């Protein structure tokens, strides 16, 4: 079973602070995805990283895929209250390619940004 462990589980910060959350596994993933889930809504895809060492930026959010493709991080610069939500990482299950594709999800980091 491929497990994705996310840390920290909870994070509460003040507006304007920087933060980093982590997604780690003992397994190699062909790709990893990050989702954000706001209260009462379903997760929304933010980014997919595919290549080891890859860095992608989405405004104030920076995503990095580890060189060995076993881990990923999400860094938020100058956090805003609108960044509040549950951040989930996800990767394809082993042997789940093509039409059999299934994602396994980490349990998430619940971020609260206080004004």
Identify which of residues 57 and 102 has a Cβ nearer to another protein in the complex. Answer: 102
Identify which of residues 56 and 107 has a Cβ nearer to another protein in the complex. Answer: 107
Smallest distance from another protein to CB 89, Å: 10
Smallest distance from another protein to CB 16, Å: 30
Smallest distance from another protein to CB 4, Å: 9
Residues that bind another protein (CB under 8 A): 31, 33, 35, 40-45, 48, 88, 90, 92, 99-108
Smallest distance from another protein to CB 34, Å: 10
SS (HEC) of the chain:
CCCCEEECCEEEEECCCCEEEEEECCCCCCCEEEEEECCCCCCEEEEEECCCCCEEEECCEEEEECCCCCEEEEEECCCCHHHCEEEEEEEECCCCCHHHCCEEECCCEEEEEEC
């Amino acid at each position: 079973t491929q497990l994705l462990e996310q840390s920290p589980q909870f994070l509460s910060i003040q507006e304007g602070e920087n933060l980093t959350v982590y997604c780690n596994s003992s397994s190699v993933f062909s790709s990893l995805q990050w989702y954000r889930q706001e209260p009462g809504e379903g997760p929304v895809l933010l980014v997919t990283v595919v290549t080891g060492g890859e860095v992608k930026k989405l405004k104030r959010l920076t995503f990095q895929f580890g060189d060995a493709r076993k881990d990923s991080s999400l860094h938020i610069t100058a956090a805003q209250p609108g960044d509040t939500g549950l951040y989930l990482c996800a990767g394809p299950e082993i042997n789940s390619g093509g039409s059999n594709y299934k994602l396994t999800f980490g349990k998430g980091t619940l971020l609260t940004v206080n004004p």
